[in-house]
Amino acid sequence: MSIENTLMQRGDSKCELCGSNDQLSVYDVPPVEKSTEDKAVLACIKCKGELADDAQLDANHWRCLNDAMWSQVPAVQVVAYRMLHRLTKQGETWAQDLLDMIYMEEEVKAWADAGLPEEADPDAIVHKDSNGDVLLAGDTVHLIKDLVVKGGNFTAKRGTPVRNIGLTNNPEHIEGRVNGQRIVILTQYVKKSKQGE
């Protein structure tokens, strides 16, 4: 029996998300290596069209998740969970309420979480060099101008490499060792070294 026939039987020839029977087809729930009925849902044309990450969502249509999230089919639970996350990001408070109620087995939740987009921590401090390249702890940078080191009685010359830099709580400051001394350097005066430099 084909996957589509199996899903038609499982879903009673209706979309497993909203219950519609309009142009049903198989939707493989990412990540998918090989299409199987356990990793797919039967979806109508409207649901399938909005499952794409960049699709505009019709929030009222997705109120159907109030029922779908209780499905015994893990793939349906995963899709419901991910769509509720997207709706919550759009400011739909009812979707957050449903997310707070949803229950999934650990392995199903792990599968659902694996498909959520990575979120950047809005509070994360990002250090950037003079060109706007992101600096990471351990990077090597070069000075782009001569810097007088206060308390060090020397001038760090332009072009001096600073290896294995450390990051601070201030996005405009990094720490590094120059002439054997650990100093604080303004990020606007450094350029990240490319590999091999």
Per-position pLDDT tens, the chain of length 197: 789 999 999 999 999 999 999 999 999 998 877 888 899 999 999 999 999 877 889 999 999 999 999 999 999 999 999 999 999 988 899 999 999 999 899 999 999 988 887 654 556 788 999 998 889 888 999 999 999 988 778 999 999 999 999 988 899 999 999 988 889 999 999 999 875 55
Extract the tokens encoding 103.
């229950």
> Residue-wise over 78-88: b if at least 16 C-beta within 10 A, else e?
bbbbbbbbbbb
CA distance linking residue 114 with residue 104, whole number of Å: 14
The correct CATH number of 127-192 out of 3.20.20.70, 1.10.3720.10, 2.30.30.40, 3.40.50.300 is 2.30.30.40
CA distance linking residue 11 with residue 148, whole number of Å: 73
Domain locations in the chain as residue ranges: 3-114, 127-192
Query: In the prediction, which pLDDT does 195 show?
Result: 59
Query: In the prediction, which pLDDT does 152 show?
Result: 78
E strand or H helix that includes residue 25:
strand 25-28
